[in-house]
Amino acid sequence: MWDMADQFHENVVDDFVAEYAAGRTPNPCLRCNEKIKFEAVLDRAVALGFDAVVTGHHARLGADGHLRRSVDIAKDQSYVLAVLTRAQLDRAIFPLGDSTKAQVREEAAERGLAVADKPDSHDICFIADGDTRGFLASRLGESPGDIVDSRTGAVLGQHAGAYSYTVGQRKGLDLRVPAPDGRPRYVLSITPKTNTVTVGSREDLEVDTVTAARPIWHGTETPVECEVQLRAHGEVVKAAVTVDANGLVAHLHSPARGVAAGQAIVAYRPDPDGDIVLGSATISAGLPANPPSQAPASTSAGSAVLSAGSEVAGSGSVPGGGAASADHAAGAGGAASAEGSALVGSAARSGGAGSSRGE
């Protein structure tokens, strides 16, 4: 076992905290895949003469080299692997992608493996109690500020730290002024510069254009008609995507809600043999489909553009397309961050076995 606790803490845990402090919503699993499993582990493996890293991710790599969705769509993890470069994919093997999770568990039980009945993991693994807000507060401290209305600028309540919120959030806002129509309000943006959380209606959440930075793109000329996924396990939306030196822009054919800066946008080409990953980038902003007629004076442009801190979207960036995302991997258990990865020589390529864990 290789102890990578220090690398894990720096590249995953510290990044996670920094991203929330900057008003973005990171994805720690994506960051762990990019910086730990397919950088730190892979680099060391290659230096020692190994050919590849095998993981238990539910995704497929065909003979054509394309990264595709798993046959088990409910467990598909291609979204959190889309940040990998061509060179990293060329040294990766995902043997579970052609099996459903139920089939994997059945085979594990037949082989007498203790993990056959292990519960699926859903929480951020370095936050054992699942209290993300408490975890962030212990590291960033309390920082009171205003919660304001996107259309009037009126102060509706107070927060103890803008890092406790994410775009699309409805619960836990503790607003003291009800909406005139009695309908729920949602977080539209977080602006660290003014320590302001801006809220509005469900309709105000809708965006029809997404801009993103640091794209990883796999050769398809753009603009291209495709489908995009805007968060892990989120629904797909048809879009026209363009990638150039300035980043990625997706014009959505139907509005999407809850688009948060710091998450990944992943483009797919539908295919009967498994949707193909075209590339990914880190979301900088979502441009509203229903812009407010009056932006509040207390929030800069961050509330008219659903950017969640996009004025600092460059910090904590991943060279070549990793989200300013943080990943769900183990902080105190950083040594286990390579868990689920197996190193193989060329002889194993024809039948590589991996672990059943692939977060």
Return the active site residues. Answer: 32, 125
Closest to 9 (Cα-Cα) out of 337, 262, 338, 334: 334
The DSSP 8-state label assigned to residue 38 in this structure reads I
Query: Do the bridges between strand 264-269 and strand 224-229 make them parallel or antiparallel, or are there none, so unpaired?
Result: antiparallel
38-44, long-range: CB < 8 A, 24+ apart? 38/84, 38/88, 38/92, 39/88, 40/4, 40/7, 40/11, 40/338, 41/2, 41/4, 41/338, 41/341, 41/343, 42/88, 42/91, 42/92, 44/2
- Integer distance in angstroms from the first to the last C-alpha of the chain? 18
Q: Would you call 64 exposed, middle or buried from its count of C-beta atoms within 10 A (0-12, 13-18, 19+)?
A: exposed
Distance separating alpha carbons of residues 137 and 143, to the nearest angstrom: 9
Query: Which residues share a beta bridge with 269?
Result: 276
**In Å, what is the CA distance from 192 to each residue of 18, 234, 260, 338?**
12, 26, 14, 34
- Is 53 in a helix, a strand, or coil? strand
How many angstroms separate the most distant Cα atoms in the chain? 68
- Spatial CB neighbours of 7, under 8 Å, sequence gap ≥ 6: 35, 36, 40, 334, 337
Distance separating alpha carbons of residues 56 and 154, to the nearest angstrom: 49
The DSSP 8-state label assigned to residue 17 in this structure reads H
Closest to 42 (Cα-Cα) out of 57, 53, 32, 31: 53
C-alpha gyration radius of the chain: 21
